[in-house]
Amino acid sequence: MSAMSTVQEIEAAITRLKPEEIKAVAQWLDELREEMWDRQIEADARAGKLDNLMEEAKRDFEAGRCKPLP
């Protein structure tokens, strides 16, 4: 079974759900997407991919180019 047919099957199944079930699936997908994003950021940080950004932010802060958050 290819991924495309699986996606198409899922899409077809979702169209048969009740509105409240669709809402629950959408919420679950949002939470899953947020979880995946968090894991990617953590992996990038561990791999050093964010080091340059952190150094740039530190230099900006030390140079007074930052504003307090509201």
pLDDT digits (tens, 9 = 90+) for 21-61: 999 999 999 999 999 999 999 999 999 999 999 999 999 99
Provide the pLDDT for residue 69.
Answer: 87
Q: Structural domain boundaries of the chain?
A: 18-70
What pTM was estimated for this model as a whole? Answer: 0.68
Confidence grade of residue 70 (pLDDT, cut at 50, 70, 90): confident
Phi, psi of 67 (to 5 degrees): -115, 145
Provide the pLDDT for residue 61.
Answer: 93
3-state helix, strand, coil in the chain (%, to 5): 75, 0, 25
Provide the pLDDT for residue 4.
Answer: 65
